[in-house]
Structure 1
Amino acid sequence: MTLNSIGLESNKAVALAKDLNYLLANFQIYYQNLRGIHWNIKGKRFFDLHVKFEELYNDANMKVDMLAERVLTLGETPLHTFEDYLKNAQVPIGKAISQDERAVQLIVESLTELLNIERDILNKSDEANDEGTNSMMSDFITEQEKTVWMMKAWLGETV
């Protein structure tokens, strides 16, 4: 067993970095979706949603940076081209969405996919004794579960 400079098994760190890159690609699509709905939202709820979507895309932008830096910490290179993001992402792509309920549904659908990916990484990082990645995924999951609950409440739905 070979350990890297932060004390993780090298092969497990490489595998986790690959998974984090996959999450990074999905987050970048989610981020772009948020920018698009922020710019294009229309209707009587414009003022509230415009501000909320900006809050969400600022948060997503911060998480993108955290993910890229974690990939680097694990000794790998973060994905950084739109080609890579599109090739690797599974979150739905929202194009020209201006209707409030559809915009919120897109957020819920995207976060549901991100949560699935994060839970998978959380399990793998736990098995690898990678507390840094584990803690990050745990924090992301906690925040995003609350956002899903709030968005579903806004839609008049239950989790």
Structure 2
Amino acid sequence: MKLNSIGLSEEKSEILSKDLNKLLANFQRYYQNLRGIHWNIKGKRFFDLHVKFEELYTDANVKVDLIAERILTLGGVPLHTFEDYITNSDIAVGKNIHKDEAAIQLIIDSLSTLLLIERKILETASDANDEGTSAMMSDFISEQEKTVWMMKAWLTEEV
């Protein structure tokens, strides 16, 4: 088995880079959706949601950079064109969303997709003995699970 410069299997690192590129493409679409709902949200909850969406897109932007840098660390090349992101993303495009509940549901759906991809990467990284990618995925998963819970709680009507 041939190892790369950080002591991981080159073959497994290539697979992880491909999977991380899929995550990167999905995160880029998630990020752009967040920008869109941040700009276009309307209604009585505007002030709270506008700030929350900014918080989320700022965090997504940081994660995009972390993912791209991990791909480079593994010896891969991060996707970096809109065409790449469109072709490799599963997250729905959130176009012209201005209602609060639709925006929150888009976030929940997007995070659910990201979590599925991240869990697959976590499993592959564990098999490859790639602690760096495993730790990153674990951190992402923990944060996003909590965000999904909070967003679902926000959608729940009080009785």
Distance 1:136 1:76 in 2: 17
- Structure 1 segments of 4 or more deviating over 6 A? none
Alignment match, 1:155: 155
Instruction: Spell out the pairing of 1:4-153 with structure 2 (5 A cutoff).
Output: 4-153=4-153
Per-residue deviation, residues 23-71 of structure 1 (Å, max 9, x unmatched): 0000000000000000000000000000000000000000000000000
Cα shift at 1:136? 0.2
TM-score normalised according to structure 1 size: 0.98
Deviations 1:109-144 (CA, angstroms, capped at 9, x unpaired): 000000000000000000000000000000000000
Deviations 1:62-92 (A, max 9, x none): 0000000000000011000000000000011
How many residues in Structure 1 have an aligned counterpart in Structure 2? 157
Q: CA–CA distance in 2 between the matches of 1:93 and 1:118?
A: 20
Identity in percent: 72
Counterparts of 2:62 and 2:96, CA distance in 1 = 24
In 2, distance between residues paired with 1:18 and 1:4?
16
**Equivalent residue letter for 1:21:** N
1-side partners of 2:93 and 2:103: how far apart?
A: 11
Q: Secondary structure at the match of 1:80?
A: coil
One-letter amino acid matched to 1:121:
I
SS at match of 2:35: helix
Q: Distance in 2 between matches of 1:77 and 1:120?
A: 20
Q: What is the rounded CA distance, in whole Å, between the counterparts of 1:119 and 1:77 in structure 2? A: 22
RMSD of aligned residue pairs (Cα, Å):
0.6
